[in-house]
Structure 1
Amino acid sequence: MALSAASVFTAPRHPQDFLQLVNPLSSARQLRGVVTSVTPECSGSVTIAFRPGRGWHAHEAGQYARIGVEIDGVRQWRSYSLSAPAGQDPAITVTAVGRVSRHLVESTRVGDVLFLAPPQGDFLLPTGPRPLLMLTAGSGITPVMSMIRTLVPRRPDADVVLIHSARTPQDALFRAELATLAADHDGLHVAHRYTATDGRIDFTSPADLDALCPDWRSRKAYVCGPAELLDDASQMWHDHHVADALSVERFETALLTDAGAGGRVVFEKSDKEAVADGSTTLLEAGEDAGVLMPHGCRMGICRSCLVPLRAGQIKDLRTGETHADEGELIQTCISAPCGTVHLDV
């Protein structure tokens, strides 16, 4: 009622537009968060903590959220795992790989405002006490760190084995904190694998896993990291008939790099166009053109990026299949144009 009355005096602008001048988190149109700290981690990585505004619901350990930033006047969105423990203000740990992540690492300052989407994802801790194995590599440790920070200090019956792979000790995220947690809590055991000297874990036989965690077959397991690690671990658990005990979190999916000739993409509702080659996704083409593209996982899993195909032909970069049915809902995050394409977005 108050906002409706105030609109008489603020027209043609909405009262929310003026409220944002006082409180940058106040917006009925877009969830936001203000950066409260930027903490350097290992080389090229930082943890960005933020205080979300109204509309955010508390995250569960292991979930991720879409984060939006404006770069050269264009709002760019990416999905990041939340590394803070459940029940606390959220944080993301970002490594400077890719345009948006590099911008976050190099340019974010306390007081900056981030655009947010609510936390989501089902890479979650089990509901009851159970021995756990966490198998991570590189930045794949971020959702698992949220789980460890949530579980280990609060549960005296916690039994967690973390096996983390990094190139060198200097590249290992959260190494000092994990050492402190393991020293303070008997329920956490941490094993680091430094691939520059130790090589990668060999999944062609169970020997490496047996040495690192002899009872791995009886534990609920979580794996997060590069696609090769996820594929190898999934095969190992399948071969040993314990596939149901493995939860996998994928940050990326393998896409074809020589899918076709590409073409012109027309974003009809946005009145914008872009030219993309045959290995550039429609989602990326739209974002580069300044189109607000719906998306979530960016891996062809969550289907949040679906938009109707109005005309033209697209190719699925995972399978190579083509689609050209007018009105068909297509996944822009794993599709590329084959000639001129019109999208209803």
Structure 2
Amino acid sequence: MSVAHTSRPAEGRRFSLLSLFEAMATPHQLDRYLELVTPMVTVRDLRAEVLAVDRSTADTVTLTLRPTRQWRGFRAGQFVQVGVVIDGVRHTRCYSPANAQSSPDGTIELTIKAHPDGLVSQYLHENARPGLILDLSQAAGEFVLPTTRPRRVLLVSGGSGITPVLSMLRTLVEEKHAGSVTFLHYAYTENDVAYLDELRELADANPNVNLVLAYTDQETGGHLHGFFGQKHLDAVAPWYAEAETFLCGPPGLMRGVREVYRELGIEDRLHTEEFAPAATPVEGEAGGELSFTASRVTADNSGGTLLEQAEAAGLHPEYGCRMGICFSCTAVKKSGCTKNVRTGDTDTDPDKAIQLCVSVPVGDVALDI
């Protein structure tokens, strides 16, 4: 009892001292000064140090990260935001850990595909080295395995979408899950499959795990060829109606799987996450005026996304993924009509939080930015 009684005032004194130091550090946070000495010692900021770098395919890089003490872990399938400074500007992107959710050493494994126009992915692919310090967010996202593991699981991925479903597979194997698990991965060729050797080892070592590789540009090797359709589904998981399916991949694969599941009437068993921006089905019409009320800035509506137009007007709203996943760019629409470029849905409600990166204005719109 005496230990508990004396620890509370001590804890309170620590927080009081911390508040005092932060007040003395104004206008900058204390972490801004600490990072000049050692970037991995932080008071509030979450960061990660690159421990190892592996370029297993021509266009991917795998980073092993050691996060600072603020890290709270993740659930298989979730994503984190990674920030890096490029030419003096901090850029943030979303990536999904690929390791099992209960990593014993607390590290995070990210495999990043260097997209041709990807500023951050290209930078990390070319420049990541052990010792590099990255900004990191806590894990987020609802694309996760249910707490009660399904008796049958179908994991479907394509390209760099392999990481969240690989995390699910590794987690199920680590838990010694006894149910049926089929891992269906689409790639251009065998050389484009990240983690190929490990996938084969996992399937060989676990009789309940069925690995199926589908190649779209290679006619030999693999188990399937071409693009996803019901024939592929019937071949790899004839029990699909009784299973839970987890899907992550490029827009074409996502669209194909959704269409098949919709036609079969089992969309409720399909769980999805996408880390590539879907093709914009509708663009906003130019015309009208944008009002950024908090900044007292106005601009003609060019038809671009609200994030793009705010930046073009000289403003710097917070953003993360720029594809409608992380919700970092959410702001309050005070008035007007907006259209979601991913779904085509319009919204006319005032005083409503919207995502700037996937919303375009329809006529006059006022935003609290």
Sort the TM-score into its range (normalised by shorter chain).
Answer: 0.7 to 0.9
CA distance in 2, matches of 1:17, 1:69: 15
Task: Tell me the SS of whatever aligns to 1:143.
Answer: helix
CA shift at 1:170, angstroms?
0.7
Matches within 5 A, 1:1-12: 1-4=16-19, 6=21
Task: Tell me the SS of whatever aligns to 1:142.
Answer: helix
Matches within 5 A, 1:29-48: 29-48=44-63
Q: State the match for 2:67 in structure 1.
A: 52
CA shift at 1:317, angstroms?
2.6
Once the two structures are overlaid, the 10-residue window that deviates more, 126-135 or 163-172, is 126-135
Could you list the per-position Cα deviations for residues 237-256 of structure 1 after superposition, in whole angstroms to 9, with x for gaps in the alignment?
Answer: 23333333221112233314
* Aligned partner letter, 2:245: A
Q: State the match for 2:152 in structure 1.
A: 131
2:199 to 178, 182, 185: 178
Q: Structure 2 unaligned runs (5+)?
A: 1-15, 220-224
CA shift at 1:340, angstroms?
8.7
1:83 aligns with 2:109: no
1:255 to 253, 265, 280: 280
Q: State the match for 2:6 in structure 1.
A: none
CA distance in 1, matches of 2:119, 2:297: 22
Residues 99, 109 of structure 2: 8 Å contact kept: yes
Which structure: larger Rg?
A: 2
Q: State the match for 1:201 in structure 2.
A: 227
Q: State the match for 2:244 in structure 1.
A: 220
1:19 to 29, 34, 38: 34
Once the two structures are overlaid, the 10-residue window that deviates more, 154-163 or 79-88, is 154-163
1:63 to 63, 67, 78: 78
Q: Identity across aligned pairs (percent)? A: 35
CA distance in 1, matches of 2:209, 2:200: 10
Q: Per the alignment, do residues 272 and 24 of structure 1 end up closer, same or farther by CA in structure 2, a change over 3 Å counting?
A: farther
Q: Per the alignment, do residues 25 and 132 of structure 1 end up closer, same or farther by CA in structure 2, a change over 3 Å counting?
A: same
CA distance in 2, matches of 1:61, 1:87: 9
CA distance in 2, matches of 1:11, 1:237: 55
Q: Per the alignment, do residues 342 and 105 of structure 1 end up closer, same or farther by CA in structure 2, a change over 3 Å counting?
A: farther
Residues 272, 291 of structure 1: 8 Å contact kept: no
2:208 to 179, 187, 193: 187
| TM-score, length-scaled by structure 1 | 0.83
CA distance in 2, matches of 1:141, 1:197: 19
Q: State the match for 1:116 in structure 2.
A: 136
CA shift at 1:209, angstroms?
1.9
CA distance in 2, matches of 1:271, 1:26: 39
Task: Tell me the SS of whatever aligns to 1:83.
Answer: coil
Q: State the match for 1:92 in structure 2.
A: 110
Task: Tell me the SS of whatever aligns to 1:182.
Answer: helix
Q: State the match for 1:166 in structure 2.
A: 187
CA shift at 1:342, angstroms?
6.2
1:145 aligns with 2:171: no
Q: Per the alignment, do residues 134 and 296 of structure 1 end up closer, same or farther by CA in structure 2, a change over 3 Å counting?
A: same
Q: Per the alignment, do residues 73 and 264 of structure 1 end up closer, same or farther by CA in structure 2, a change over 3 Å counting?
A: farther
Matches within 5 A, 1:306-317: 306-309=330-333, 315-317=339-341
CA shift at 1:258, angstroms?
4.6
CA distance in 1, matches of 2:240, 2:347: 43
Q: Structure 1 unaligned runs (5+)?
A: none
Once the two structures are overlaid, the 10-residue window that deviates more, 287-296 or 114-123, is 287-296
CA distance in 2, matches of 1:214, 1:55: 44
**Number of matched residues?**
341
Cα RMSD of the aligned pairs, angstroms, is 3.4
* Aligned partner letter, 1:24: P
Could you list the per-position Cα deviations for residues 264-318 of structure 1 after superposition, in whole angstroms to 9, with x for gaps in the alignment?
Answer: 977676799999953x43335556868251456832x665532134688755434
Task: Tell me the SS of whatever aligns to 1:162.
Answer: strand
Could you list the per-position Cα deviations for residues 193-221 of structure 1 after superposition, in whole angstroms to 9, with x for gaps in the alignment?
Answer: 11013543342xx3222223333333221
Could you list the per-position Cα deviations for residues 77-125 of structure 1 after superposition, in whole angstroms to 9, with x for gaps in the alignment?
Answer: 2111111211222122111112222122222222112112210112112
* Aligned partner letter, 1:336: V
CA distance in 1, matches of 2:158, 2:24: 56
CA distance in 1, matches of 2:91, 2:298: 17
Residues 31, 115 of structure 1: 8 Å contact kept: yes
Task: Tell me the SS of whatever aligns to 1:152.
Answer: helix
| TM-score, length-scaled by structure 2 | 0.78
